[in-house]
Chains A and B, each alone.
Chain A
Amino acid sequence: MIEKEKLRKYAKLLMFDMKEEEYETLQEEFNIILKQMDLIAKIPNIEKVKPMTFPFINEDAKLREDIVGDYLTTGEVLANTKQQVDDQVKIPKVVE
């Protein structure tokens, strides 16, 4: 059983918080998934299989030439920010 404190630590690392009852639901969900993952670990010789991270090798994929393509203007990049100063996103002071 995973402790609630540990879950709180992960939430903090991910920069959000949850309500107490939400941690309880999460704890239950974790227990189910971890139990199922335990079963996976028991599949014979699983450690010898090469992990698959993409569906198949795409032979058409190659690096493009290093030439300038379309890009966003500064105005476009800042269009959805709430505060700007001198063409930059404004946030509270980092260095006191």
Chain B
Amino acid sequence: MYRGLNITQLRDKIDNEGISPEEIFESTNKLAHQLQDEYNSFVTIIDKFKMKTTNKTLLSGICYGLKDNISTSNILTTSSSNILKDYIPVYDATVYKKLKNAGAVLVGKTVLDELAMGGTGTTAHTGIVRNPWDKNRMIGGSSAGSASAVALGIVPFAIGSDTGDSIRKPASFGGVVGFKPTYGRISRYGLFAFASSLDHIGTLTRNVHDAAAVVDIIKGLDPNDMTTLKDDNKNYVSSLENDIKGKKLFYIKEICDKKLYQDSNDEVMLKILDEFHKMLDKLRNQGFIIEEVSIDKQLLEALYPTYMSISCAEATSNNANLTGIQFGPRNDGSSYQEIMMKDRTLGFSELIKRRFILGSFILQKENQEKLFLNACRIRRLIVDKINELFKDYDGMILPASGSIAPKFDDSSEKLSEKYLILENHLVIGNFGGFPSITLPFTMIENMPVGINLTGRVKEDDLVLNMANYIEKVTGLSDIYSKVGDSNEV
């Protein structure tokens, strides 16, 4: 009954139509259970209504999903890994605490790629997450369940985390809005660390307004996370309608020029690039100035290996605490080493182990200079280049992906030369901590495709403001898959 309603519409139901938050929760809970077997958005669905009523905010009584790598006291938090399959935290993450204090109502903990590593939504210990627009396709990851719960219209918003593109890529594949604010804008206290220098918390919503509304509540300085920024005391919702005439954007030739792909027979990719350029023309008509810039291809080709080196190295170290002894399943053994060996062998899936070994190798003394430090140097060169462009431009606009959501039997071509830049450029947002948002801009073969906008550090309000205008041009706000509805068309 309340499926697919956004925050403003739900607010209206509660404030003006006398619908109780509990009634909306019951209906949402029922829908979550109904779609769970087929789509697997949740690790845990909360069955008991719980809402703090001390503060009245825009989110009071609004249901939401929270990625299962975010700590929730007394609620199972597994990070979608066998090594944490029975872990019940004893403290709340700051983002959860803020949402609780704002009166938001938790509906479920959402599935992720194990330990937030991976971009397919297929590696969780509870099974694969299916794309609401076509269940034979992936939703992408790692914030797979958060994207899926929003794209199915179950909740108006969900919280995700983003280390390389983990909010913004599933947003593209799922036809929702994925926003990762500036590094430090939202506290990471209580987020299970993957790669601390790249990790961000962010939102998945069905329109830009709702992204702004949620971030308005969850941003701010946190003494428990010394990387957080002092609050900018801005209300992002109230900046959404600011005039954008004359705002300057750039796109990167080495990613978007169709001539680069002239030998390709990938019709979907070529169509996406066509639609992207058409969209740029429409945005120009609305007052944006959009220009092409060129960036050294060698630097862009280094994005993926740089990301792999830094993220795997940090992940190896961050996850060393997963021993099965302090928490997690503990196996029998005659020594603590034997226990740990069994716990970690059985607790991690293959992909996680491969990444840890890569990280460990990179951090060995003899490899540090060439592998780890060189990656950190490339990171600086890339971020410096983007910051230099941001002196002249207010933002960077690019297709979020060169494909629609892949089918489960598609082989990964992420490492192939053709896709090396097009499929991995979103990491620029993590390297520099830039605010970055993906929103749906077209449909190809009945599947959504996202456009990405990235702006200057600390200018989250401007990024949301510009994205709000782009959304008006795309006309694709508040879309969701009606699958499973009795009135489905």
Contact = CB atoms under 8 A, between A and B. Distances in A.
Note whether A and B form a binding pair. yes
Given A43-B298, A64-B223, A80 B230 contact: no
Contacts of B381: 43, 49
Contact of A33 (B323, B340, B358, B432): B358
A83 B464 CA distance: 50
A16 B322 CA distance: 11
Interface stretch (B38-46, B59-67, B256-264, B346-354): B346-354
B286 interface: no
Interface in B303-322: 304-306, 308-309, 316
A68 interface: no
B376 A40 contact: no
B327 A37 contact: no
A16 B356 CA distance: 10
**Which of the listed residues A14, A47, A83 has the most CB atoms from chain B within 10 Å of its own CB?**
A14
Contact of B353 (A11, A41, A51): A11
A60 B155 CA distance: 34
Contacts of B229: 58, 60
B370 interface: yes
Contacts of A1: none
A49 B369 CA distance: 12
Contacts of B333: 92
A43 B197 contact: no
Given A30-B358, A69-B223, A92 B433 contact: no
B57 to A, nearest CB: 24
By secondary structure, the A interface counts as loop
Contacts of B338: 92
Interface string B122-138: 00000000000000000
Interface stretch (B83-91, B168-176, B247-255): B83-91
B431 interface: yes
A83 B197 CA distance: 35
B90 A49 contact: no
A55 B353 contact: no
A52 to B, nearest CB: 4
**Which of the listed residues A18, A19, A55 has the most CB atoms from chain B within 10 Å of its own CB?**
A55
Interface in A1-42: 2, 7, 10-11, 13-19, 22, 25-26, 29-30, 32-33, 36-37, 39-41
Contacts of B344: 14-16
B161 interface: no
A53 B376 contact: yes
**Which of the listed residues B184, B305, B348, B381 has the most CB atoms from chain A within 10 Å of its own CB?**
B305
Given A51-B376, A53-B376, A55-B431, A37 B360 contact: no
A11 to B, nearest CB: 6
B312 to A, nearest CB: 9
Contacts of A81: 325-327, 330
B336 A16 contact: no
A28 to B, nearest CB: 10
Q: Which 10 A-B pairs have the closest CB atoms?
A: A55-B433, A51-B376, A80-B327, A52-B380, A36-B305, A16-B344, A49-B377, A76-B90, A82-B330, A60-B230
11 contacts: A10-B357, A22-B350, A32-B415, A36-B304, A37-B305, A43-B381, A47-B377, A51-B380, A55-B434, A80-B328, A94-B335
Interface of A: 2, 7, 10-11, 13-19, 22, 25-26, 29-30, 32-33, 36-37, 39-41, 43, 46-47, 49-56, 58, 60-64, 69, 72, 76-77, 79-83, 89, 91-92, 94
Given A49-B381, A56-B183, 16 more contacts: A10-B360, A11-B353, A14-B353, A15-B323, A36-B304, A41-B370, A51-B376, A53-B197, A55-B431, A56-B433, A69-B223, A76-B91, A77-B90, A80-B326, A81-B326, A92-B336
